[in-house]
Amino acid sequence: MLIIGSRLIDAPVMGLQTGGELARTSKAIIDPRTLKIVAYELTGSLLDTHPSVIRVMDVREFSDIGLIVDSSDEFVSPRDIIKLNDVYELHFTLIGMAVIDEKGRKLGKVDGYTIETSGFLIQQLSVKRPLFRSLNDTQLLIHRTQISEINNTSIIVNSEVKVQPMLQNVQNSYHNPFRKNPGTQPEHIDQD
Domain boundary (64, 90, 116) is at 90
The CATH number of residue 34's host domain is: 3.90.50.10
Within a domain: residue 148?
yes
Domain count, the chain: 2
Burial of 43 per CB tally in 10 Å (0-12, 13-18, 19+): middle
Mean pLDDT for 161-177 is: 47
Domain boundary (59, 90, 121) is at 90
Interatomic CA distance for residues 87 and 95, integer angstroms: 16
Residue type, 37: I
Range of the domain at 110: 98-159
pTM of the model: 0.77
Looking at the fold, whether 85 and 102 belong to one and the same domain comes out as no
Q: Which of 83-87, 89-93, 98-102, 186-190 has the lowest mean pLDDT?
A: 186-190
Quick one: pLDDT at residue 168?
44
* Band (164; pLDDT cuts 50, 70, 90): very low
Interatomic CA distance for residues 26 and 84, integer angstroms: 17
Mean pLDDT for 154-181 is: 58
Looking at the fold, whether 37 and 75 belong to one and the same domain comes out as yes
Indicate whether 157 pLDDT > 70.
Answer: yes
Looking at the fold, whether 18 and 77 belong to one and the same domain comes out as yes
Looking at the fold, whether 81 and 137 belong to one and the same domain comes out as no
Looking at the fold, whether 129 and 76 belong to one and the same domain comes out as no
